[in-house]
Amino acid sequence: MSLRAALAAVTLALATFCVPTAAPAADGPPEALALVDAMIEAHGGMERWANAPTVSFTDEFRPGEATSGPRTRVTVEQGPRRAYLDVLGSDMRVAWDGERAWSENWAMPMPPRFLALLDYYFLNLPWLASDPGVNLSEVSEGQIPGDPTEYRTVKMTFDPGTGDTPDDYYVLYVDPETDRLKATEYIVTYRAVLGEGEESTTPHLLVYDEWTEVGGLTVPTHYTIYEGDAVYATNQIRDWSFTEPFDASRMEMPEGAMVDTSQP
C-alpha cells in the first residue's frame, strides 16, 4: 500500500476533534456523570491532567496490518488547546491557533485542521468526556468482540456548535472492575474526509490495548481500530509528557504557510 493510500485509510478511521465553547460542563443523568467521574479518577484524576501546561506525545499510525507508519510529534496547550505538530523525518508541520490551521510543506491527504487535535482527542478521552458541550446518555452495558466482559457503556453526543463536528458521537466502554476506559465506538462527520453523499463514516471500534503511567496519569501507548472484524489501523504512542513548555512562537504563521480551508 502506498503511503498516500495508507494515510487516507487512517484518516477515515479516525474521528475529528471537538473543541468546546464556553458552556457548563458535561450534562447527563447522575449515574452517567458518576461513571465518567470514576473513569477520570481511575486514570489519575482531573486536577493533575487539567493543570498540566501541555500534553505531548509521539504517535505512529499503522494502517491495516502494516508494521510501521508516519510518526508525528504532537504538542497541545491545555486550556486554549492550541497545538502544533511535526511529522518526524520530514519538513511537514501543522499549527492550530484555536481558529485557523495552517501547514508547511504539507503532502498528506488529510486536512491539517482535521488532524490538528485528532489523536489528542482519542488519547485523552477519559478526561474529555467531561468537557463543556458534552451530553451523556443513560448508562447501559455492552461487549466488544472477542471479550466476554460486560462493560458499562455511555454515549457521548455534543451540543450544536460544539467544535467543528458536533454530529460526531462516541460510545465509551468502561471496565466495571478498574473503571478505566477500554474502548470507544465512534463516527466521523468531518465533510472534507467523507465520500460524496456520505453524512458520516460507518461506526468504528477503537480498543485501547496498552497503558502506562506518566506523572500519575494513566495514558494509552497502543490502540487498535476495527472496522467490523477487520483491523483497520493501529497506533503506537511514545514519549508522553505533561511538562513540556508551549512554544507560542509556533502560533505565528510563517511566510509561505498555507491556511487550511477544508469544510468540516
CATH number of the domain within which 229 lies: 2.50.20.10
The two beta strands, 83-87 and 93-96, are antiparallel
Residue 65's pLDDT band (cuts 50, 70, 90): confident
- 185: cell is 465506538
Q: Is residue 94 part of a domain?
A: yes
pLDDT surpassing 50 at residue 12: no
pLDDT of residue 188: 96
Q: Is residue 264 part of a domain?
A: no
Phi/psi of residue 6, nearest 5 degrees: -65, -45
Residue 141 and residue 149 in contact, taking contact as beta carbons nearer than 8 Å: no
Q: Is residue 240 part of a domain?
A: yes
- 32: cell is 452517567
Q: Is residue 259 part of a domain?
A: no
| Cα–Cα dist 250/201, whole Å | 32
Q: Is residue 261 part of a domain?
A: no
Residue 166's pLDDT band (cuts 50, 70, 90): very high
pLDDT in tens, 77-88: 999 999 999 999
| Cα–Cα dist 195/79, whole Å | 33
pLDDT surpassing 50 at residue 183: yes
Which DSSP letter does residue 1 get? -
pLDDT in tens, 237-260: 999 999 999 999 999 999 999 999
Q: Is residue 40 part of a domain?
A: yes
Cα-based angle 5, 256, 247 (whole degrees, multiple of 5): 85
- Segment (H or E) for 183: strand 181-186
Among candidates 184, 192, 146, 130, which has minimal Cα distance to 165? Answer: 192
Number of domains in the chain: 1
Q: What global pTM score does this model have? A: 0.90
Residue 14's pLDDT band (cuts 50, 70, 90): very low
Average pLDDT value for residue range 98-119: 95
pLDDT of residue 259: 98
Q: How many other C-beta atoms can be found within 10 angstroms of the C-beta atom of residue 1?
A: 12
Q: Give percent of the chain above pLDDT 90.
A: 87
pLDDT surpassing 80 at residue 33: yes
pLDDT of residue 25: 86
pLDDT of residue 46: 97
- Residue 143: which domain range? 3-251
Average pLDDT value for residue range 169-196: 97
Residue 106's pLDDT band (cuts 50, 70, 90): very high
Average pLDDT value for residue range 129-147: 97
pLDDT surpassing 80 at residue 70: yes
Q: Is residue 97 part of a domain?
A: yes
Q: Is residue 200 part of a domain?
A: yes
pLDDT surpassing 60 at residue 3: no
| Cα–Cα dist 211/170, whole Å | 20
